[in-house]
Amino acid sequence: MSESRPRGRPRAFHDKTEQNTVQSLDRALSILEVVADANGLTLTELAQASGQSTATVYRVLSTFQTHGFVELDPEGQRWHVGAGAFRTGSAFLRRTKLADRARGAMESLMRATGETANLGIEDRGEVLFLTQVETHEAIRAFFPPGTRSPMHVSGIGKALLAHMPVLRLAEVMARGLRGFTPGSLTQSEALERDLIATRARGYAIDNEERTEGMRCIAAPIFDAQGRAVAGLSISGPVFRLSLERAEELGALVLQAAQGVTEATGGGKG
């Protein structure tokens, strides 16, 4: 009897050699990632950032443009990610339904704290922000959907790291702990102490570790197996989100995250 395999996968599914990948597609997607991570780049800048020729990059951009995945600002001649990419990416949110289930809790959290509420997950060793509910304050944090951040300088990132299996945590930390501000935790011992404190109190604090003048408090969301799969946070300027209020605000964030855990059928292991 022939070996069965999951439907939707070819026999060579586990073969990751070059002949089983579409190299031109791989190059094109790497260019799209560069466009998405930047706030507008010229053709020359994109070629330099992606390490590919100008002609190749232009052909890729022209193809993506026909599908709405990128847009060209004619005045500045800079390429930006397009609405087509957003529509395609939104399918991920529809599949997980996490953002839908978390929306009510995020709106309530924003009203209760007066600060922007954020939802994020871990993706390839980074925090990927899925959605946010903005405060009405003039000075506020802003993380557009798709924004990424190193985990060790993010409230959501540290909330997830605090509950990550030891081997997986070691993998993430092995990538290096880059400093962004004087408050960044760039030594593994300091980060480990912070994660111990995070587990003990139930929420993480980003104390101006990614951006000076901004603070974040975050708590994890668990799945049915008790794994921390997402994080909920509030972010705001330090003059409003003071450390003296951390316990009060942390309790509200933790309560909101627990509500999302329950709404999605999860539970802390």
Evaluate whether 134 touches 140 at the Cβ level (below 8 Å): yes
End-to-end CA distance of the chain: 40
- Measure the CA dihedral 77/80/84/88, to 10°: 160
For residue 242, the model assigns a pLDDT of: 94
Query: Is residue 228 scored above 90 in pLDDT?
Result: yes
pLDDT digits (tens, 9 = 90+) for 235-247: 999 999 999 999 9
For residue 93, the model assigns a pLDDT of: 61
CB atoms within 10 A of CB 83: 10
36 vs 83: CA distance, rounded Å: 11
Residue, of 109 and 147, whose pLDDT is higher: 109
Query: Is residue 101 scored above 70 in pLDDT?
Result: yes
Ordered domains of the chain (ranges, CATH): 18-86 (1.10.10.10), 97-263 (3.30.450.40)
Confidence of residue 13 (pLDDT cuts 50, 70, 90): very low
Could you tell me if residue 187 is left (phi over 0), alpha (psi between -120 and 50 degrees) or otherwise beta? beta
Confidence of residue 193 (pLDDT cuts 50, 70, 90): very high
Q: At residue 61, what is the residue type?
A: L
Query: Is residue 206 scored above 90 in pLDDT?
Result: yes
Closest CA to 221 of 165, 254, 261, 264: 261
Query: Is residue 16 scored above 60 in pLDDT?
Result: no
> Which whole number is the average pLDDT over 204-221?
97
For residue 142, the model assigns a pLDDT of: 78
For residue 2, the model assigns a pLDDT of: 46
Evaluate whether 101 touches 221 at the Cβ level (below 8 Å): no
- Write phi, then psi, for 224 (nearest 5 degrees): -65, -20
> Which whole number is the average pLDDT over 249-259?
97
For residue 88, the model assigns a pLDDT of: 80
